[in-house]
């Protein structure tokens, strides 16, 4: 349990450090390299478009990250305490999380990167957090590849060029052909690629569970759920104003049917 609580502190710090490093690289390396193009118009310059798009992705990723933490799942005070009191909570709608030390409705899982449980109230923000984190990482990887290609005069036209970039760059780094900042960007390329794919896969998995009307906790316990139309399952999580929530970080606007169904 001590290891889990320590991970609950280290994982958010790790995510925030990656976000800070990504922002610094975008601001001080990638954007200045795009401003060096004199042929581009000032209004539609690559630097302006790149900065605006990255700002949109990062704002939604960090905004939904904060909302996941602030918009915590329902806390059932009556179910906390002894095992006899927790036994009164009807499974599988309620689950006691040992890390958070509380009982939550519609428990899906505990996310260590946010240090919070994921349930009915913050599920939509969590999915959007995964979506925009994946897009921000993959977009940063593309911008980093363009930066490395321009600085080191490398071509990524070959499909295996990205896979062989790391071992080649390591040997060139020790020989002095590749400097420290370029080597750091190359390492970040693979980190962005790994985090982007992981978040994308997790987002798709969560959406599949929502379409089925299930949670990860119910799947692990083998609990059968009542069949419902997939549109109602989506509306229960994303609400009627789903487009507004997709563009701007905001609190969950889902319906209250999930709370009523679990009671």
Active-site annotation, residues? 111
Cβ–Cβ contacts within 10 Å for residue 156, how many?
13
The answer to whether residues 78 and 123 touch, using CB atoms and an 8 Å cutoff, is no
> What string of DSSP letters covers 144-174?
HHHHHHHHTT----STTTTTTHHHHHHHHHH
Please state at what angle helix 165-175 crosses helix 180-212, rounded to 10 degrees: 160
Q: Running DSSP on this structure, what letter comes out for residue 73?
A: P
End-to-end CA distance of the chain: 30
Q: In this structure, what token pair is assigned to residue 123? A: 């599920």
The answer to whether residues 102 and 89 touch, using CB atoms and an 8 Å cutoff, is no
Segments of the chain assigned E as strands: 94-97, 102-105, 109-111, 116-118
Q: What angle do CA 163, 166, 171 make, to 5 degrees?
A: 135
Q: Give the whole-angstrom CA distance, residue 239 versus residue 247.
A: 14
């Amino acid at each position: 349990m001590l290891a889990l609580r320590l991970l609950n502190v280290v994982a958010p710090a790790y995510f925030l450090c990656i976000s800070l490093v990504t922002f610094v690289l975008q601001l001080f390396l990638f954007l200045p390299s795009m401003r060096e193009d004199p042929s581009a118009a000032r209004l539609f310059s690559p630097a302006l478009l790149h900065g605006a798009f990255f700002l949109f992705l990062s704002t939604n990723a960090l905004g939904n990250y904060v909302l996941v933490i602030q918009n915590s799942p329902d806390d059932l005070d009556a179910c906390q305490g002894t095992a006899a009191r927790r036994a009164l909570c009807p499974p599988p709608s309620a689950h006691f999380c040992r890390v958070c030390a509380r009982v939550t409705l519609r428990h899906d899982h505990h996310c260590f990167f946010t240090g919070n449980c994921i349930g009915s109230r913050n599920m939509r923000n969590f999915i959007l957090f995964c979506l925009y984190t994946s897009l921000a990482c993959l977009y940063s990887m593309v911008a980093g590849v363009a930066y490395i290609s321009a600085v080191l005069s490398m071509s990524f036209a070959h499909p295996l060029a990205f896979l062989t970039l790391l071992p080649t760059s390591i040997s060139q780094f020790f020989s002095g052909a590749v400097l420290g900042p370029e080597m750091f960007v190359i390492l970040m390329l693979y980190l962005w690629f790994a985090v982007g794919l992981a978040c994308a896969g997790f987002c798709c998995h969560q959406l599949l569970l929502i379409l089925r009307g299930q949670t990860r906790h119910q799947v692990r316990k083998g609990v059968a759920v009542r069949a419902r139309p997939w549109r109602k399952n989506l509306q229960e999580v994303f609400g009627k104003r789903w487009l507004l929530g997709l563009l701007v970080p905001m609190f969950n606007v889902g319906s209250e049917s999930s709370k009523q169904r679990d009671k």
